[in-house]
Amino acid sequence: REDPPQGANWKWKNGKKWYDAKQKKAFDPPEGFEHVYGVNSVVNALTASKRKTISKLYIRESSTFAQKKDKKAYDEILKAATKRGVEISSASKHDLNMMTDNRPHQDFVLVASPIEPESIPNSEAIIPPEKKTLFLALDEISDPQNLGALLRTSAFFGAGGVVVSEKNCSPLTPTVSKASSGALEVIDVNSTPSMVKFLKNAREEGWKIVGTSVGKNSVSLDEIASHDKEVDVLGSSIILVLGSEGRGLRPVIKDLCHVLVKIEGSGPRVGNVDSLNVSASGAVLIYTLKALQQQQQQQKTQFL
């Protein structure tokens, strides 16, 4: 690699370039705060109430955002910041890049306290099981991009909320918020110290647990309705549990599932592509399970 520029503060980053560590530290957020970035994350953070404190909004100086097709979002951000009494300052593109480590901030950076998920020991704290709904349980999802995508999917398809494991799961960082397109700022996210105990308790309360597996004991989404006659998953409140990106669900979690489902591809396989990643699988499963729940409910209503 090339030699660093003159000075003692230069550090090699990601095998790509040198950066001035002292200069970078000057752009770190104050202790107890973080930099939330991206239009949707910023506007949702300002209009929701999940973050206890929002101290400052940075907008890129000479920003052309207001002249683009998204002018409505620009105006909404300014209005929300003004309403909450948030200080608004301009900053150069360089400074915003430094605050966000060159991530796509879209001309907006918010200085805010982190989102702290409420820790819950059992499923009684989320919703009564007699109210038919679907919750997402994420066990050891460590990739912030996947976590963010799953939160976005949950918000879009109207999942009741999300429960994440406190251990070996990505924290709820600004990267997760950006990957979720701001869904993190508005959807209910709880955490549990033990996913196993949480799911055991959920079963006792009447929740049906659906997991994913490619094993021989799993059924396809096309088969779940016929399989469901024995278990009545679709007529109950469902917790869909997804496992880590590499190994999937832990065996102890699989044993707690009422049914294990698999997603089968259509057409000939290309190369070694034989599965979806966890965020894509979650999107397919949430959409399908909610649609099947609604379909069964409509069928029951017709016979009343």
- Say if residues 260 and 218 touch (Cβ distance below 8 Å): yes
Question: How does 148-182 read in b/e, with b if 16+ C-beta sit within 10 Å?
Answer: bbbbbbbbebebbbbbbbeeebbbbbbbbbbbbbb
Please report the pLDDT score of residue 125 as a whole number: 59
Please report the pLDDT score of residue 220 as a whole number: 82
Q: What is the CATH number of the domain that holds 97?
A: 3.30.1330.30
Can you tell me the distance from the alpha carbon of 287 to that of 280, in angstroms, rounded to the nearest whole number?
A: 11
Domain membership flag for residue 243: yes
- Are 108 and 129 in the same domain? no
- Are 205 and 248 in the same domain? yes
Q: Where does residue 296 rank: exposed (0-12), middle (13-18), buried (19+ CB within 10 A)?
A: middle
- Are 61 and 164 in the same domain? no
Can you tell me the distance from the alpha carbon of 183 to that of 166, in angstroms, rounded to the nearest whole number?
A: 19
Show the domain range for 58.
Answer: 28-112
Please report the pLDDT score of residue 64 as a whole number: 65
Domain membership flag for residue 3: no
- Are 220 and 126 in the same domain? yes
Domain membership flag for residue 252: yes
Taking only the tens place, the pLDDT of each residue in 67-116 is 665 678 888 999 999 999 999 999 999 899 999 988 999 999 999 999 99
Whole-prediction pTM value? 0.85
Domain membership flag for residue 6: no
Domain membership flag for residue 286: yes
Number of H helices, E strands in the chain: 10, 14
Last residue of a domain, one of 87, 112, 137: 112
- Are 70 and 200 in the same domain? no
> Among 121, 103, 94, 81, which Cα is nearest to 35's?
103
- Edge to edge, the sheet with strand 118-119 lists 118-119, 189-192, 161-165, 134-138, 238-242, 208-212, 259-262, 219-220
- Are 185 and 123 in the same domain? yes
Q: How many Cβ atoms from other residues are within 10 Å of residue 145's Cβ?
A: 16
Domain membership flag for residue 67: yes
Domain membership flag for residue 12: no
> Among 268, 267, 168, 254, which Cα is nearest to 214's?
254
Q: What angle do CA 159, 41, 39 make, to 5 degrees?
A: 130
Element (DSSP H or E) covering residue 54: strand 54-60
Q: What is the CATH number of the domain that holds 142?
A: 3.40.1280.10
> Among 143, 170, 171, 188, which Cα is nearest to 34's?
171
The list of the chain residues with pLDDT below 70 reads 1-26, 63-70, 121-130, 227-230, 267-274, 299-304
- Are 225 and 170 in the same domain? yes
Ramachandran area for residue 84 (φ above 0: left; ψ -120 to 50: alpha; else beta): alpha
